[in-house]
Amino acid sequence: MTLTEIVDIQKIRADFPVLDQEINGKKLVYFDNAATTQKPIAVINALKHYYEFDNANIHRGIHTLAERATRDFEATREAVRKFLGAASTEEIIFTSGTTNGINLVASTYGRKFIKEGDEIIISGLEHHSNIVPWQMLCEEKGITLKVIPVNDRGELDMEVYDQLLSEKVKLVSVNHVSNALGTINPVKEIIAKAHAVGAVVMIDGAQATSHLDIDVQDLDADFYAFSAHKLYGPTGVGALYGKKALLEAMPPYMGGGEMIKEVTFEKTTYNELPYKFEAGTPNIADVVALKAALEYMDSIGRDKIAAHEDMLLQYATEQLLQIEGLRMIGEAKNKVSVASFVIEGIHPQDIGVLLDNLGVAVRTGHHCTQPLMKRFNILGTTRASFAVYNTIEEVDRLIAGLHRVKKMLA
């Protein structure tokens, strides 16, 4: 099992300047990719270029800079459309990230079309940002929230899902991939079954888009949200896909500039899609740079990225399981490159603090999934999540680090 077979790892690592540094005198190992990935120089340059040459407010300017900024902003919309497999750019709304996309759907579609006595289904694998917006909506409208349970391997219990579905269910919102465990959920099946009872489906794609090929039309997803910063793009920007008919029926999210057609003090008519949902000056620079991130992934090949990450996950899992007292949390058959684990008698935070001193960055804690941690009766986990620039040697550093940590805490 050699790395060079799949990707040119040295070339890729050279694209990420942040990786070339020492922490506490040791070469940085960055394994917190599920929280955010590092940015390639192409993305950093796109941001720099935008501010150095093209900065202007978009859409209504008639001067050259405004034209360039608008062209590049809209070029990203087309790139995102292609990336998600959407039918039209009208279905791509720029947001500040996944959380924003979910809140948009809860506040507009949810408030307008879901009523007292109706039901919403989420799952036990959800991040807090795919729980709380629905809880807020449920509280406001008298809607019941139901939860698909998680089995011991960290997979959704689809039999219970079948039982939860009824004509009362108006919306199902689940993640495509679990951030805490890496489980890939059978979203195509979840969507088909929800549609059979007339419910719409929102997919939280935050953890999926950097690992899997997404085709919203094939999935038949009604809404799909993701964040740029988890796929080598900038922070503070993301996109929400929504089926055109649904987006058209939905009321606007925020009022302001850009989202209007005509404003009088008596009445305002709203702009057409997707601008109806993009009030105010958007995050232009980061949207422009998002395209560079998508192009970067394509330049390596998304299948190659996935294969490389799978190789790292397999190797890491094998090595981790050899550590005495270590237990993997999340052993789903289908999972992305996330290794979440606990070590008997050791608090995850102690592991994280000591690994940091050894130059290894992991995430510890509940990963914003407190109900899921409760399900496994644990305080939290240590999570190592891998990206395209990670190496076998870095996994070895983690393993050696864990042995050292165990010794120090013994």
Pairing of strands 29-30, 360-361: parallel
β-strand partners of 227: 238
**264 lines the binding site for another protein (CB under 8 A):** no
Pairing of strands 338-343, 360-361: unpaired
**42 lines the binding site for another protein (CB under 8 A):** no
**182 lines the binding site for another protein (CB under 8 A):** no
Cβ atoms of 91 and 241 within 8 Å: the answer is yes
The CA-atom distances, in angstroms, between 113 and each of 108, 134, 192 are 8, 13, 20
Residue 340 neighbours by CB distance under 10 Å: 30
Of 321, 409, 408, 365, the C-alpha closest to 128 is 365
Q: Could you say which of 203, 297, 354, 398 contacts another protein (CB under 8 A)?
A: 354
Residue 286, CB half-sphere, CA atoms under 13 Å: how many?
20
Residue 324 neighbours by CB distance under 10 Å: 8
Q: In the complex, what is the shortest distance from the CB of residue 346 to another protein, in angstroms, rounded to a whole number?
A: 8
Between 13 and 404, CB nearer to another protein: 404
Between 2 and 345, CB nearer to another protein: 345
How far apart CA 109 and CA 278 sit, in angstroms, is: 16
Q: In the complex, what is the shortest distance from the CB of residue 241 to another protein, in angstroms, rounded to a whole number?
A: 31
Instruction: Determine whether 138 is an active site residue.
Output: no
User: Using CB under 8 A, which of the segments 80-88, 221-229, 282-290, 348-356 binds another protein?
Assistant: 348-356
User: Using CB under 8 A, which of the segments 154-162, 163-171, 176-184, 358-366 binds another protein?
Assistant: 358-366
Q: Could you say which of 27, 59, 128, 347 contacts another protein (CB under 8 A)?
A: 347
Cβ atoms of 54 and 211 within 8 Å: the answer is no
What is the footprint of another protein within residues 370-389 (CB under 8 A)?
A: 379-380
Burial class (CB in 10 A: 0-12, 13-18, 19+), 142: exposed
Between 75 and 353, CB nearer to another protein: 353
Q: Which of 28, 307, 328, 368 is catalytic?
A: 368
**295 lines the binding site for another protein (CB under 8 A):** no
x/- mask, another protein, residues 13-32, rule CB under 8 A, reads -----------x--------
User: Using CB under 8 A, which of the segments 149-157, 250-258, 313-321, 346-354 binds another protein?
Assistant: 346-354
Q: Which residues bind another protein (CB under 8 A)?
A: 24, 347-350, 352-354, 357, 364-366, 379-380, 408-409
Residue positions annotated with a catalytic role? 368
